[in-house]
């Protein structure tokens, strides 16, 4: 089996999305250098959001490289292909958007995006992992 066009398209989009993580890194250096005002909560959430974005985008590309070898079909294949990239959007958004404003003392309600991302990541990893194991077992 070869990599499907859907996986190639999503992988290309995700690689281009890593450019936004680069620009986020530049923003983070400005925050940490004191050129952009941010309190301790914001600094830690900005760091966490940046790190999660990068790691989850790279993990998404790795999954896409092999997901078409799985036993998944239809909606299950869509979920195995898409839920980790969705988490790569939701989790960083939750970190960044929940501390927007001047001197927030705690995250706002947009922290819910983080937890939606956690659910998406967990489901995506379980589906992709189970589908790959099933594909390997079927090939034995």
What b/e readout covers 9-28, taking b as 16+ CB neighbours within 10 angstroms?
A: ebbeebeebeeebeebeeeb
Question: What secondary structure does DSSP assign to 13-63, as a single string?
Answer: HHHHHHHHHHHHHHHHHHHHTTSS---HHHHHHHHHHHHHHHHHHHHHHHH
Higher pLDDT, 26 or 85: 85
Does 2 have pLDDT greater than 90?
no
Q: Is 1 helix (H, G, I), strand (E, B) or coil?
A: coil
**What integer pLDDT is reported at residue 90 of this predicted model?**
97
Q: To the nearest whole number, what is the mean pLDDT of the chain?
A: 95
- Domain count across the chain: 1
Quote the domain boundaries for residue 104: 5-139
Among residues 110, 113, 55, which one has the least CA distance to residue 84?
55
Q: Is 4 helix (H, G, I), strand (E, B) or coil?
A: coil
CB neighbour list of residue 111: distance below 8 Å, 6 or more residues apart: 94, 98
Cα–Cα dist 37/45, whole Å: 14
Among residues 45, 55, 51, 62, which one has the least CA distance to residue 7?
62
Percent of the chain with pLDDT over 70: 99
**What integer pLDDT is reported at residue 65 of this predicted model?**
95
pLDDT digit string, tens, across residues 39-76: 999 999 999 999 999 999 999 999 999 999 999 999 99
Q: Tell me the average pLDDT across 112-128.
A: 98
Q: Tell me the average pLDDT across 125-133.
A: 98
């Amino acid at each position: 089996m070869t990599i499907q066009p859907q996986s190639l398209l999503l992988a290309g989009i995700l690689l281009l999305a890593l450019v936004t993580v680069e620009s986020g890194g530049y923003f983070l250096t400005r925050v940490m250098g004191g050129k952009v005002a941010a309190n301790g909560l914001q600094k830690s959430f900005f760091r966490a959001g940046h790190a999660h974005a990068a790691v989850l985008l790279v993990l998404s590309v790795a999954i896409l490289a092999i997901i078409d070898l799985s036993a998944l079909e239809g909606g299950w294949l869509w979920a195995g292909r898409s839920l980790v990239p969705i988490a790569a959007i939701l989790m960083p958004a939750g970190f960044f958007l929940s501390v927007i404003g001047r001197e927030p003392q705690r995250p706002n309600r947009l922290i819910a995006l983080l937890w939606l991302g956690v659910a998406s990541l967990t489901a995506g990893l379980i589906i992709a992992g189970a589908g790959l194991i099933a594909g390997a077992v079927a090939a034995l």
